[in-house]
Amino acid sequence: MRNVIVVRLNVISDVHAQIEALAQAGKNADALICLGDLLLYTDYEDPGNGIMGTLFGPELNTEFIRLRTANQFDDARALAMQKWDELGNREELINREVNKQYEKIFDAMPTPTYITYGNVDRPEFWPNFKKEGMTVLDGQVVEIGGLKFGFVGGGLKTPYRTPYEITDEEFQKNVDALGPVDVLCSHIPPLIADITFDVVARRFERGSLALLEYIKKYQPKYSLFGHVHQPLASRTRVGKTECVNVGHFRATKRPFVLEV
């Protein structure tokens, strides 16, 4: 009788500087998979927190959040520009806070970890903090537990202009580079209404048509993603593929468990 080895993978997304829970995210697992959004720029529940809260202060950041939530992006940018004129060098100030957060985040992150970028991440900073046992993947495939896992990072262009939004063409190239896999891992979801609508924000987040077409063509066992914090549906199926939002880790502090 052949022995069957089961590999347990803990999968998380949208960490947003949840340091304490991140340190425990790999508990009882053979490896951790992280689908991005490590940084916390704007904390919608605590306007004094995050990078913008630190730099703008809670009062101004509350108004900044209100304008963005109301889809008044031009007004939000105008408000921010007034503050940047007062504070000084915008890029230097933000980069300083990004470095502070990434240092704590990567220090807390357990290994082994397979990780890709989220739309609020800054890939150019990662080589400074990535440690042994961390594998960064984007448009690449890795074998775990005898299965092929394909990773596609980043987000698509939106009015929010988050740091790592790429064009549909760039994203398509990364999807095309995978070939057939057993588990498709991405930060954003495939373009399906139920899993892209956020019931609290009351808006559709951008999903990927390229991911949806990939799923229809290759039918991986799973499509795993995050990005939508409060989705109308956390799961759906496309043919044989189970599409799963692994959860807003900053809020739940719990990984999604996948056994292969």
Domain boundaries, the chain: 8-38+116-259
Give the pLDDT confidence of 26-55 residue by residue, as tens digits: 999 999 999 999 999 999 889 999 999 999
Among the listed residues 191, 251, 260, 182, the one whose alpha carbon sits nearest the alpha carbon of residue 218: 182
Q: Average model confidence (pLDDT) for the chain?
A: 96
Q: What is the DSSP letter of 219?
A: -
Instruction: Determine contact, residues 25/255, Cβ cutoff 8 Å.
Output: yes
For the chain, list the strands marked E by DSSP: 8-12, 31-34, 113-115, 134-136, 140-144, 147-152, 155-156, 165-166, 183-186, 197-198, 203-204, 222-225, 235-238, 241-245, 256-259
> Which homologous superfamily does the CATH classification assign to the domain defined by 8-38+116-259?
Metallo-dependent phosphatases (3.60.21.10)
Q: Considering only CA atoms, give the Rg of the chain.
A: 18
User: What's the predicted TM-score (pTM) here?
Assistant: 0.95
The pLDDT score that the predictor gives to residue 64 is: 93
Give the pLDDT confidence of 97-130 residue by residue, as tens digits: 999 999 999 999 999 999 999 999 999 999 999 9
The pLDDT score that the predictor gives to residue 2 is: 60
Confidence class for position 174, pLDDT limits 50, 70, 90: very high
